Amino acid sequence: MAGEQGTGRAFADIMRLAEQVEPGQPGWTRRVFSPEYRSSRALVAELMGGAGLTVTQDAAGNLIGKLPSDRPEAPALVLGSHTDTVLGGGRFDGMAGVAAAIEVARRLRERGQPLARPLWVVDFLGEEPNAFGISCVGSRAVAGALTREHLGLEGPDGRTLADALGEHGADPERIAEARWASGVVGSYLELHVEQGPRLERAGVGLGVVTAIAGIHRAEIRLVGRADHAGTTPMGQRRDALLAAAEVCLALEAIGSRDESGVATVGHLVLEPNSANVVPELVTLVAEYRSSDPNWLTESDRQLVEMISEAPSRRGVQGAMSWLSQEPPTACSADLMRLLTRAVGQLGEEPLALSSGAGHDAVQIASLCPVGMLFVPSRDGRSHCPEEWTEPDQVELGVRALEAAALELLSGGPNGEWA
């Protein structure tokens, strides 16, 4: 383990990144493709370089810092996360993982640790959803899943994703070159804040992630009839908003049937949206998440059944189209055992838990085994200005990540790791 001189550096780096925020926006907003995001990544590159990493930016805009190995042909260990935020976001979601990865590399270099395989530290571009309707832009690219159709997606101002990438210093015409070839990377570890309350409630300092929830999203359109709000009798109305309210409550019931998943309506548009007109059209997005594929399948069935029945009781027509049906991503059993061992070396017993939030690890799982560590989030808050993780909790996460990385980089307990 590194000496006490390394304690607190990762937290300090997180706080430095937090200074790069969009003026006039709530919280610690730093959205992908903003000028502040660009300047923050210059800081990330500086931190990587100061840790002894050789830094490059690939065609998709990912920042990649590398520590060499005596066996350059061996599959690399990748550590990383992202540094963009949602609107009104906090200081830790993504940033804690990048800062921790840089600190692990810094400690290894300071110690002169020989590496049995290369170490890569990555700040993936644009993990959070953006104006183009796509998340995990950089990790999709390295996984070979960022398509020409994605690059052609248009934002509200008419720019395409390709335009935004080009303006940010990436090269969308060479996006295929960002893909990591088979066998180049061997394992991926990501430290992240939990973004929920389970670790704090259990009084546990570290969590080992078992799986990342699958996310199913559907757009639902409810078409009623616009009428005068003062003259149309209640029994003769075809109120699309009241039908939408029934849909929202039915979706709550789907998500509440057990503790295996959650369901949300987080986006709703009402037309004509006038105080004196019975609502004619409502468009909403229903989302539910679970790490249990059977739970997701059953939720699909219940949602389809509900849309075919509930609106008709109010004389409203309902239609549904799937936006995405992403399956759960299981973390590697070997890496879960490795992380549990690493936490045990620190005298801690981790909590095994699934992630309800999506992560870049979902994309990287198509390339190599992935593992994740969680550190607590105060009051379970995230994606808000109140997001907070204590300095000693960050440091504990760094030390656990370092212990796990050290085992992988020294060849593993049996001298061989894929």
* 3-state SS class at 119: strand
Q: What is the pLDDT of residue 412?
A: 54
Q: What is the pLDDT of residue 1?
A: 44
Distance (Å, whole) CA 296 – CA 289: 7
Distance (Å, whole) CA 212 – CA 293: 11
Residues 93-111 have pLDDT tens digits of: 999 999 999 999 999 999 9
2 with 107: CB under 8 angstroms?
Answer: yes
Per DSSP, helices labelled H in 136-270 are: 137-142, 148-151, 161-167, 198-202, 240-256
321 with 216: CB under 8 angstroms?
Answer: no
Residues 154-209 have pLDDT tens digits of: 999 999 999 999 999 999 999 999 999 999 999 999 999 999 999 999 999 999 99
CA distances from 346 to 101, 240, 399 (A): 18, 57, 8
Domains and CATH numbers, the chain: 4-212+328-409 (3.40.630.10), 214-326 (3.30.70.360)
Other beta carbons less than 10 A from residue 173's beta carbon: 12
Residues 40-69 have pLDDT tens digits of: 999 999 999 999 999 999 999 999 999 999
Q: Which residues contact 47 (CB under 8 A, 6 or more apart)?
A: 13, 99, 102
Q: Please give the structure tokens belonging to residue 384.
A: 């808000």
91 with 198: CB under 8 angstroms?
Answer: no
Distance (Å, whole) CA 69 – CA 191: 23
Question: Vertex 111, ends 106 and 115: CA angle to 5°?
Answer: 80
Distance (Å, whole) CA 22 – CA 302: 42
Residues 269-301 have pLDDT tens digits of: 999 999 999 999 999 999 999 999 999 999 999
* 3-state SS class at 411: coil
Would the pLDDT of 405 be above 60? yes
Quickly state the pLDDT bin for 251 (edges 50, 70, 90). very high
pTM: 0.91
Q: Which residues contact 9 (CB under 8 A, 6 or more apart)?
A: 103, 106
Q: Could you tell me what percent of the chain has a pLDDT over 70?
A: 97
Q: What is the pLDDT of residue 308?
A: 86
Quickly state the pLDDT bin for 3 (edges 50, 70, 90). very low
Q: Could you tell me what percent of the chain has a pLDDT over 90?
A: 94
Would the pLDDT of 414 be above 60? no
The residue-averaged pLDDT of 123-136 equals 94
The residue-averaged pLDDT of 241-253 equals 95
